[in-house]
Amino acid sequence: MSSAIIALALVPMWIIALLRLPGIRRSPRHFLIAVALTSGCLNATFAPQPAVHSWLIQISGLPGLPFAAEMATGIIALSAVHGWLLMGWAADRRESMTVLWRTWAVAGALIAITSTLALTQHLNSAFTYHAVGHHHASPGQMITLAVYEGYLLFVFVSATIFFTLLARTSASRLTKTGLYLMAIGNFGGARSAYTLLYLVPDALPGIPSWPWPWSADLAAVINYPGYALGFIGLALPALALPLHWHRARRDLRLISPLWRDLRTAYPSVIRIHERLPTGALLIAAVTEIHDALGLLAAWPQSTALLAEARSAVEAADLPEDRLEAAAYAAWIAAALAQKPDLSSEHSTWTYGQTAQDDIPGGISWIAAIAREYSAGPLPLTSNATAS
Amino acid sequence: MFRLPRRTLYKQLQREHAALLRQIPDPFNVDQFCVLLRRLTGRNVVAHPFELGRFSRLDACGVGGLYIRTSDLDIIGYAGYVPVPHQLMMIFHEAAHLVCGHYREPEARQGIAAQTMAPSPTSSHPMLRILTRSIGGLDDEAKSQIVQFTNLVQQTHGLPLVAGRSDIEAVMGRSLRDRGPLEKEADALAMALGDRVRRGGLQSLNPAQGQALRELAGPLIHPYRDE
């Protein structure tokens, strides 16, 4: 049963870790995430493999090597998470790197000390461990164990607090869900808390032990669902990237006919000529359409044309949710048909009442106008148009 | 799939200003954005909207945004009465002038920017040169409105007023007519910032001004209300 749980957790963990690996060059934080995921996977895969432990001891002749390797990968993973979180608070790259070096200095010292003790057979959880969460060893070994488990617990607790705070401030639902999953996934830290709790009565026989027995099966697997949840949580916000890309493509396709006509009529609104990625191209399209409509709005005939367009859409008996967009589309089409000289003045204009005051709301509004424009705007034939 | 070919201006700016792009508030908040700019540049940065109708000459000249640098303050001015996405693009464009260092003397900058800002033989004062080259189409009335706006912001923040144009170190403006390399650079970075905010959320941007616009803008915003 425990092997099945471990295998079920490890498969998605490795997939996510390998998928994130190519992004390590993007920024120091990407690098740290990749380090955390890879060493976390190594640690989680290596820890429950007694056959591999025996093989390592056999080929190295060092009984403490499996423990040292397991502990080093664990500390590397958690210190990478720690550094990644701390860098989020740092203001610039220099500060970020300082924070990173300090974190890794602490982690490096911890790895060096515990590895030395383990490899010289002064510290080995396999020997000091006598029941789930319980250790009997010399006071020096118990202190080292306390420092090690304390560091793990500190990272688990601070990560839980960080992730929860970040989730509360995040606007994206995917990011929020991912961060909450990562916070929940830290329940694996309970094992460190339990070990720390029992270190005192274990080290000092006079003190009575705590009355909370711990199931050996539970202790063996408790970290794994937590790790898997954390990994899945980390992968969830990345799903937003293809979603945003898809939405940007869809909106761009809708907006393009209107954008192209405005650009052709008024090339002066073109702001960037070079190739842009889809998201930035959509922003460029909306910006240029705004600028062009600002120029069109200043054209003296625009007021009369817009009034006529509103009368036309009301007469056409269009559904209410299309009225504003159809009127704007008819106004733009009529104005473009006359291609007035707009080089003199500029005027402000704004969205209809139904548009939301944010970037997606603005894009939706422009897309609604563009949809009406592409579908064939209502023709305006009055004196205002003719003049 | 999501990668650009190398060596585009956009890509170059994305790399150079990765810290700004990474740390942009999500959801976006203009005050927190100014705090971020302050941290990154070491300067006191404020964003202040133009009131509807008060700086009408600037609006008529197509200036939707201004970056003004005085000895005490870096001011990002933007039309607070246009649609919110457009306000954001103005703020990002002006912020890009600041973080790209376009306010510097040409000798202090490298490459593309240095060529654009080459000293003009007809002007002697550095401020006038920058003003002339970046928003050259402005008349005297618009330029005096820039000084008025500067003083309004200085006063709001309890700082001494500027006596005139010569007290302003630099002015860059987002206009519809200037398409020099500096403007292209600011636009490209603004597009990158805009795309980040598109993918994130918007917490606050001048909500009171947005409401005022709805009340004041007339038929363009209340198309079905009887006039």
Mutate to test the interface with B, among A268, A351, A364 (most CBs of B within 10 A): A351
Q: Is there a single domain that holds both residue A224 and residue A285?
A: no
Q: Is there a single domain that holds both residue A237 and residue A329?
A: no
Q: What is the CATH number of the domain that holds A75?
A: 1.20.1070
Residue of B nearest to A287 (CA): B86
Looking at A241, A276, A293, the residue that finishes a domain is A241
Is there a contact between B8 and A275 if contact means CB atoms under 8 Å apart?
Answer: yes
Q: Is there a single domain that holds both residue A82 and residue A195?
A: yes
Q: Is there a single domain that holds both residue A219 and residue A290?
A: no
pLDDT digits (tens, 9 = 90+) for A190-241: 778 877 877 777 767 777 766 766 666 676 677 788 888 888 887 887 777 7
pLDDT at A128: 57
Q: Is there a single domain that holds both residue A205 and residue A61?
A: yes
Q: Is there a single domain that holds both residue A289 and residue A345?
A: yes
B76: contact with A, CB 8 A cutoff: no
Strands B28-29 and B202-204: parallel
Is A313 part of a structural domain of the chain?
A: yes
Provide DSSP, chain B.
--PPPTT-HHHHHHHHTHHHHHHS-SSEEHHHHHHHHHHHHSS-EEEEEEPTTTTHHHHHTT--EEEEE-SS-EEEEEETTS-HHHHHHHHHHHHHHHHTTTTS-GGGS-HHHHHHTPPPTT--SHHHHHHHHHSTT--HHHHHHHHHHHHHHHHHTT-PPP-SGGG--EEEEE-SS--SHHHHHHHHHHHHHHHHHHHS-EEES-HHHHHHHHHHSGGGT-TTS--
pLDDT at B117: 35
Q: Is there a single domain that holds both residue A51 and residue A200?
A: yes
pLDDT at A271: 77
A94: contact with B, CB 8 A cutoff: no
pLDDT at A122: 66
Omega cis (within 30) before B27: yes
pLDDT at A64: 78
pLDDT one digit per residue (tens) for chain B, 227 residues: 445 445 688 888 888 888 888 778 777 888 888 988 998 888 899 999 887 667 777 777 777 788 888 888 999 998 887 778 888 888 999 999 899 888 775 544 444 333 333 333 343 444 434 444 444 556 778 888 888 888 888 888 888 887 776 677 777 776 666 567 788 888 899 999 998 888 766 554 443 343 333 333 333 333 333 32
Is A255 part of a structural domain of the chain?
A: no
Is A98 part of a structural domain of the chain?
A: yes
pLDDT digits (tens, 9 = 90+) for B39-96: 888 889 999 988 766 777 777 777 778 888 888 899 999 888 777 888 888 899 999 9
pLDDT at A131: 54
Q: Is there a single domain that holds both residue A217 and residue A304?
A: no
B21: contact with A, CB 8 A cutoff: no
pLDDT at A9: 87
Is there a contact between A171 and B27 if contact means CB atoms under 8 Å apart?
Answer: yes
Question: How many domains does chain A fold into?
Answer: 2
A277: contact with B, CB 8 A cutoff: yes
pLDDT at B175: 64
pLDDT at A50: 82
Looking at A241, A256, A290, the residue that finishes a domain is A241
Q: Is there a single domain that holds both residue A223 and residue A305?
A: no
pLDDT at A251: 93
Is A137 part of a structural domain of the chain?
A: yes
Is A257 part of a structural domain of the chain?
A: no
pLDDT at A274: 75
B27: contact with A, CB 8 A cutoff: yes
Is A248 part of a structural domain of the chain?
A: no
| Domain around A335 | 266-386
Is A254 part of a structural domain of the chain?
A: no
Is there a contact between B217 and A348 if contact means CB atoms under 8 Å apart?
Answer: yes
Q: Is there a single domain that holds both residue A150 and residue A275?
A: no
* Partners of residue B10 in chain A, C-beta under 8 Å: 272, 274, 276-277, 280
Is A27 part of a structural domain of the chain?
A: yes
pLDDT at B167: 72
- Chain A contacts in chain B segment 130-149 (CB below 8 A): none
Looking at A224, A241, A258, the residue that finishes a domain is A241
A280: contact with B, CB 8 A cutoff: yes
* pLDDT-flagged residues of chain A (< 50): 91-92, 383-387
pLDDT at A62: 80
Q: Is there a single domain that holds both residue A331 and residue A366?
A: yes
pLDDT at A348: 61
Q: Is there a single domain that holds both residue A317 and residue A364?
A: yes
